[in-house]
A and B are shown apart, each in its own frame.
Chain A
């Protein structure tokens, strides 16, 4: 890949993305339009995150990619390889060792430090999109801080289901101003959006970048009588026994038997290395992982 520039994108493109990132940080939660480029991977597969990572990475970085919390999912592997080739960066599966983490649909279980950057892949950045399909209209709503439609939707959920029927991509309000889509993370992850690290969100196909600086106030929308609740499956991880982590559900036999395991594979492996064993787990062995 020596024919390509450092981190694939040309310098002018990176400057354009970098300017958008700075604006995003200055106006937390606001979606900055940017001229997303065609990347050598499909739209919808993380091109926004990849462009943001390309603009942020330096040759000194250690890069981690997770999809659904796991480092070994095929698309995470594919993106990690892309930057290994085009930027020559070190890669890791350990959350602790990573300086830049690109993610799809999860926030790592382990708290991020202030020298870590989390880059989200975002499919639909507009939290109001499924209530109002027109971009012209939703942009107006953000300008006027007119978020009544969202509250009506959440309220209708309550009257129909007795609870807010949004389980992922749960909308948040950033620093008391912009309603923001945190990308399709489970609402279990929402409380972690207030963190020490820098969070950058890239939506390639929709041409938007947004950001949450460290320690920014991020509030999940709710009502006094129906407060927000970060929920997960009511189980412990069957591999490592963790009770505080988000779980994947697996169907393990023809009778529909289930087991649960940490979606964050690095977190799970770390616990198993420390000697934790879940109900169906085996003691950690180096070669098994």
Chain B
């Protein structure tokens, strides 16, 4: 293992993770709202926000799927060392990391009628993230909000499965925004 894998973790895990979680939680509660996070420096091409999200939410109990664009030894070592998360196929994943092109939504678990929470959360690296583009509505949004999303149809299909479905965390540099399954995208 390269020494690089050992670096870039939280300096003070309990408080770094607490701050990061608050940002992620706020973003999940308010779809479209962009939060800033810091505290992790993962190997490229992973963004700071993806790194922070992984350190905050993943551990040996959360199987992770890596998309093609991030499936490099350096990244595998980093995730394994810092989180202990097992790397798995898409169908067994609780979390997935990759670019939009990397991730085939149909491959991931969307939960069951009795346990809709047994579904994957996709951490998607996006090239731009700002409050323009698609219109979002639903829980957490006062009237409507706007977010640059990589697709619209896919999220509309996802919404149709509600309460089953996938939840998304879009990351870009040190910023992130969320799109839970409950959001209506147009």
Fill in one digit per residue for A5-30: 1 if any B CB lies within 8 Å of its CB, else 0: 11100011011101111110111101
**Out of A5, A198, A215, which one reaches B25, CB within 8 Å?**
A198
Interface digits, B22-65 against A, CB 8 Å rule (1 contact, 0 not)? 10111011100000000000000000000000001111011000
Q: Is the Cβ of A19 less than 8 Å from the Cβ of B57?
A: yes
Query: What chain A residues lie within 8 Å of B163 (beta carbons)?
Result: 27, 30, 177-178
Question: In the complex, what distance in Å separates the CA atom of A139 from the CA atom of B30?
Answer: 28
Q: Is A78 an interface residue (CB 8 A)?
A: no
Count how many pairs of residues, one from A and one from B, have CB atoms less than 8 Å apart in the complex.
Answer: 114
Set of chain A residues within 8 Å of B114, measured between Cβ atoms: 139-140, 142-143
Query: B28, A58: Cβ atoms under 8 Å?
Result: no
Question: Chain B contact residues: over half helix, strand or loop, or mixed?
Answer: loop
Q: Which of A76-113 contact B (CB under 8 A)?
A: none
Q: Is A278 an interface residue (CB 8 A)?
A: no
CB-based contact A143/B113 at 8 Å: yes
- With A58-B19, A177-B162: A18-B117 Cβ-Cβ less than 8 Å: no
Given A25-B25, A58-B18, decide whether A19 and B141 contact each other with a Cβ distance below 8 A.
Answer: no
Q: Is B14's CB under 8 angstroms from A11's CB?
A: yes
How many angstroms between the C-alpha atoms of A211 and B14 in the bound complex?
23
The reply to whether the CB of A227 lies closer than 8 angstroms to some CB of chain B is no
CA distance A18 to B140 in the complex (A): 18
A32 touches B17 (CB 8 A): no
Q: How far is the CB of B139 from chain A (nearest CB, A)?
A: 4
Whether a CB of chain A sits under 8 angstroms from the CB of B15 is yes
Which residues from chain B contact A16 at a C-beta distance below 8 Å?
61
Number of interface residues of B (CB under 8 A): 40
How many Å lie between the Cα of A222 and that of B121 in the bound state? 36
Contacts A16-B61, A19-B57 known; A213 to B29 CB distance under 8 Å? yes
A15 CA to B62 CA, complexed, in Å: 10
Are the CB atoms of B59 and A216 closer together than 8 Å? no
Q: Is A144 located at the chain interface by the 8 A CB criterion?
A: yes
Chain A: minimal CB distance from B40 (Å): 14
Tell me the complex Cα distance, A20–B163, Å: 15
Contact at B29–A25, with CB atoms within 8 Å?
Answer: yes
Indicate if the CB atoms of A56 and B25 lie closer than 8 Å.
Answer: yes
Q: Mark A214-248, 1 if CB is under 8 A from B, else 0.
A: 11110000000000000000000000000000000
Q: Check if A55 is an interface residue, CB within 8 A of chain B.
A: yes
Q: A12-B59, A27-B116, A28-B182 are in contact. Are A18 and B30 (CB under 8 A)?
A: no
Residues of A within 8 A of B (CB): 5-7, 11-12, 14-16, 18-23, 25-28, 30, 32-33, 55-60, 114, 139-140, 142-144, 175, 177-178, 196, 198, 211-217
Taking A27-B117, A213-B139 as known contacts, 12 extra A-B pairs with beta carbons closer than 8 A to each other, sorted by chain A number, are A12-B59, A18-B25, A20-B117, A26-B28, A26-B182, A28-B182, A58-B15, A114-B30, A140-B114, A175-B139, A196-B142, A216-B140
